[in-house]
Structure 1
Amino acid sequence: MPSPNDLTLIGILLLALVTVESGGYFLTRIVRGRVPANALQVSFFRAGHAHAAVLLVLSIAILAVISYAALDGFWLWLASIGVPIAAILMPAGFFLSVLGKDPERPNRLIWLLWAGVAVLTAALITAGIGLIAGGVAAL
């Protein structure tokens, strides 16, 4: 059973998915030519949009089961909040690194993407090991 804190975060994440919907509308405006964007921007905007949605849903799935993990303290915090943090950092890296008029390549804010990758990896490994340990202990 998710903790009250996890349930609150799940509610926040569900509401955050509404912002992903508005991002989808923005993408339809780009592909219809109503918002100017070059090929790099289009591909990064699509990637940012997709990563935001997938990582928010993955966050909800992890929070629904993380209370069964054999984790506590920092490790439980990382497993619980790491994917939601990555759901902010990775799309931000995609979107912010190609802002401007006709960029030829991503700017320095691409580091947000790689920071998100690092946090995501650490959170998934921690959650996975903790859930396996929790499952084995419950046998």
Structure 2
Amino acid sequence: MLLEDGSIFSGNAFGFSTQEIGEVVFNTTMTGYQEVLTDPSYSGQIVVLTYPLVGNYGINDQHSESSRVQVSGFVVREQCETPSNGTSTETLHEFLVSQQIPGIYGVDTRAITKRLRSQGVMMGVLTHGPIDAAKRALGSAT
């Protein structure tokens, strides 16, 4: 992920393989990642979750705030690949793929949050591709 101040946060791709530009915001909730993903108030934003493990109870049919994912991208410290919940119908990764939303894990989400808190709102690019292409895309979007 590239922020408009030039900061680069490298990690591992998950979800749909694409590049998305959006306003980068953070959320400090400990639960409710499915609700965050589908909340219309996050439309077009790249959301960074500060809680370290996300995806541990999977995705189910009861916890969506709308009929589709609203975020442009999703950033987590660690994503659980094997959720443990009887109502789970798919993993977080599968859900993001089906909704064509890119994600990244293995990044220091607390560092991103501290940067956003100290410097304010900024645009960013979430990409699974070369950083040079992301820099060009972000430059033309801002």
Question: Do the two structures share a fold, i.e. TM-score over 0.5?
Answer: no
TM range (shorter): under 0.3
Instruction: Answer 1 or 2: higher relative contact order, Cα 8 Å, separation at least 6.
Output: 2
Greater helix fraction, Structure 1 or Structure 2: 1
Greater strand fraction, Structure 1 or Structure 2: 2
Calculate the TM-score normalised by the size of structure 1: 0.25
Calculate the TM-score normalised by the size of structure 2: 0.24
**Structure number with larger C-alpha Rg:** 1
